[in-house]
Amino acid sequence: MAGALVETLSTKKLLAVFVGFILLEIGFIILAKVKAPISTMAIVQSAVTCIDNKSQDWILPETCKYMVLDPENHQETISHQGPDDNPTHDPNNVVFAAVLPKKIVEMSRWFQYMLTLAVFKIPYNPQLEVAPDAVATLDIRLAYSNNKDFYKLPKSWQSVVNSTQERPLECVFEHPKTDEYKGFHYNCDPLFILQLGSLPHKHYLINIRLPVNKANPKISPNMKIGQVTEIDFVSITQTGGFTKIWISLKVALCTIMIFPLIWYWRRVTALARPALLIEKAIFGLALGMEFLNIPLELVTIFSDASWMLLFTDIRQGLFYALIFIFWVIFTGEHLMDQAHRNKLSSYKWQLGCITVSCLAFLGFELGERGTQLVNPTATMWQHPNLALALLVCGCIAGVLYFLLLCYLVFRVFRSIRFKRRFVLPTERTAHFQSIVNRFRMLMLLSAGTAGLTVAFFILQQKLEGMMNHYLPEDYEFNMASGFFTGVYGLWNIYVFLVLSLYAPSHKLYITSDLDNGDHSSSNGVATEQVQLMQMTQEKPRED
């Protein structure tokens, strides 16, 4: 690689650049802290329990016939044997209905997406416990309406989906299972109901039934789920304010980042030689960042783009892939072994790991959010083995990649130490030192950025934990928005620094022997072997 800009900068200038960017980063966090509301919100609503005579109409919470599913009441009112024709005693006629959001407010396109969960309220009853392997079968119907009279007119609702789904019901009873605690509630995990990738309509209606087969109780679904008396719906959306801040941030970063991108590419093309692999990797990384920066989310405001959630995830995944590729190439190109350089094929193991990891996660995403484009109630966890296999596979490949990367970094440091002592003639030390510094600099930068990201993540979780101790005044305190804008700004700064500091320099243009070596080393394997042998021989003396 040719002399990069970073080698020509003085320490003072470098420091100034760093301080400047740290201030900028603090700015990103403060922006969210001051301007943005909490990033996501959860609307908790109780479903109205309605009784309905198997009609195919939409059941509206306000106009339906209510019913109370209180086990104690039933014990008083119904006491008989034999077949039962009373429609109010047929579980198939019970509908849990809710209009999302609440009556007085409307959905906004700025909310971006909606993830709806159901929390079952099940009082403990020794005669009807929740089985440990209980599976809830849910008949989920979703409709939308933009009509003014949405609350009264079942005709104003248009169907989105009608699907029967099975969900494992995991409930824990935290008290001793004695008669004394009868009526205390199980603690049940929220069940996934549906996820919408965009919210183009004003009101959504959910109707849920828990069907049973009365004629054949042995094979009937929903026989092990205990006495469900109530269902709470939890709808998670992004807040409108956060979406606005987020899109503004993206517009700003997208415009700013285009300049260093063009500038970098012009520098690279201005060189007499073809672009090196590492230069291409840097450019790819910057392109990935810029692609992520494009405020495509704006499309959801103007049209029904439910694919946006999936697409944003893929964009994010692409950026991860490019940054991993960049790291491994950068490290590899600084391996001073004069072998296998400037060729993508020399990184086949690392690239293989990245590909496997990305494909696994992509498979999961397509299975989860891709299927949800067609059926919002579908989830990959319907097939837990496949979902787990994909995630585990993706994670293992990712971990393997990091191990390989760490090994590569270790090798670079070892070869640097080794060469400084024994191999290099004195006249080449200055150039060698600059390459070493260049490498160390990026190591520091990458480790710092990744470390800060992790630190932010931990901090956010910690502070959220503190928030949960419930202090009414501090309830508005919000870390998540600051975390998102902070991390996003951080990676933009990282890419910006890489672009500008590692651009080929015009000031000091050295076509060094090392760089020439890249192209001419046809016997690279042999050289490396010799060097490796040398290293192993030298090692005891080093220690």
Alpha-helical (H) ranges within 271-383 are 277-293, 298-302, 308-333, 348-365, 371-374
Torsion angle in degrees (nearest 10) through CA of 69, 70, 75, 77 = -60
* DSSP classification of residue 155: G
Least separation in angstroms between residue 407's CB and other proteins is 26
DSSP 27-56: HHHHHHHHH---SEEEEEEEPEEEE--S-S
Q: Quick one: which of 20, 132, 168, 183 contacts other proteins (CB under 8 A)?
A: 183
Cβ closer to other proteins: 115 or 501? 115
Closest alpha carbon to 47 in 33, 30, 34, 59? 59
List 8, 46, 213, 371, residue binding other proteins (CB under 8 A): 46
Question: Nearest distance from residue 326's CB to other proteins, in Å?
Answer: 20
Pick between residue 59 and residue 339 the one whose CB is nearest to other proteins: 59
Which residues lie closer than 8 Å to 480 by C-beta, 6 or more apart?
38, 39, 40, 460, 464
C-alpha 29/C-alpha 23 separation (Å) is 10
Contacting range for other proteins; rule: CB under 8 A; set: 26-34, 122-130, 416-424, 506-514: 122-130
Nearer to other proteins, 109 or 334 (CB): 109
Angstrom distance (rounded) from CA 382 to CA 393: 18
Give least dist CB 157 to other proteins, A.
17
- Shortest separation between residue 55's beta carbon and other proteins, angstroms: 18
Of 123-131, 331-339, 345-353, 518-526: span binding other proteins (CB under 8 A): 123-131
Instruction: Show contacts with other proteins in window 288-317 (CB under 8 A).
Output: 313, 316-317
Among 133, 59, 45, 57, smallest CA distance to 95 is for: 59
Whichever of 279 and 368 has its CB closer to other proteins, that residue is: 368
Identify which of 186, 204, 255 has the alpha carbon closest to the alpha carbon of residue 496.
255
Q: Please choose, out of 13-21, 230-238, 498-506, 510-518, the segment that lies near other proteins by the rule CB under 8 A.
A: 230-238
Cα–Cα distance for residue pair 394/350, rounded to 1 Å:
14
Residue 315 · residue 292 · CB < 8 Å: yes
Q: Return the exposure string of 418-450: e unless at least 16 CB atoms fall within 10 Å of the residue's CB, then b.
A: bbeeeeeeeeeeebbebbbebbebbbebbeebe
Residue 182 CA to residue 262 CA, distance in Å, equals 70
CB of 44 to other proteins, least distance (A): 5
Structure tokens at 56: 């195919």
Q: Count interface residues toward other proteins (CB under 8 A).
A: 78
Rounded to a whole number of angstroms, the minimum distance from the CB of residue 93 to other proteins is 8
Q: How far is the CB of 118 from other proteins (least distance, A)?
A: 12
Question: Closest approach of Cβ 370 to other proteins, in Å?
Answer: 12
Taking CB under 8 A as the criterion, the residue among 15, 20, 55, 84 binding other proteins is 84
| Residue placing its CB nearer to other proteins in the complex, 99 or 435 | 99
- Taking CB under 8 A as the criterion, which residues in 91-120 touch other proteins? 91, 94, 99, 102-105, 108, 110, 115, 117, 119
> Segment 315-374, which members bind other proteins (CB under 8 A)?
316-317, 361, 364-365, 368
Q: Which of 158, 184, 256, 529 binds other proteins (CB under 8 A)?
A: 184
Question: Smallest distance, Å, CB 74 to other proteins?
Answer: 5
- Taking CB under 8 A as the criterion, the residue among 260, 394, 486, 524 binding other proteins is 394
Neighbours of 537 (CB within 10 A): 9
Question: Is residue 450 a contact point for other proteins (CB under 8 A)?
Answer: no
Tokens of 209: 């039934």
The nearer residue to other proteins, 103 or 421, going by C-beta atoms, is 103
In the list 10, 11, 56, 79, the residue contacting other proteins (rule: CB under 8 A) is 79
Q: Which of residues 146-175 bind other proteins (CB under 8 A)?
A: none
Show the binding pattern over residues 204-223: x = contacts other proteins (CB under 8 A), - = does not: ------x-x----x----xx
State which of positions 231-250 bind other proteins (CB under 8 A). Answer: 232, 234, 236-237, 239-241
- Can residue 513 be called a binding residue for other proteins (CB under 8 A)? no
Subset of residues 465 to 484 that bind other proteins, contact rule: CB under 8 A: 468, 470, 472, 475, 480
CA neighbor of 116 nearest in space, from 48, 195, 43: 195
Q: In which region does residue 388 sit, left (phi positive, over 0), alpha (psi from -120 to 50) or beta (all else)?
A: alpha
Rounded Cα gap, residues 303 and 233, in angstroms: 27
C-alpha–C-alpha distance, residues 144 and 204, integer Å = 4
Distance CA 323, CA 329 (A): 10
- Least gap, CB of 98 to other proteins (angstroms): 8
- Between 5 and 94, CB nearer to other proteins: 94
Considering the complex, state which of residue 313 and residue 518 has its C-beta at the smaller distance from other proteins.
Answer: 313
Q: Residue 184 Cβ, how far from other proteins at the closest point, in Å?
A: 6
CA distances (Å), origin 149, targets 27, 156, 354: 46, 8, 53
Is 37 a residue that touches other proteins (CB under 8 A)?
A: yes
Among residues 297, 287, 280, 279, the alpha carbon closest in space to that of 238 is found at 297
- Which of 190, 200, 284, 352 forms a contact with other proteins (CB under 8 A)? 190
- Binding segment for other proteins among 52-60, 229-237, 281-289, 421-429 (CB under 8 A)? 229-237
Residues 118 and 230 sit within 8 Å (Cβ to Cβ):
no
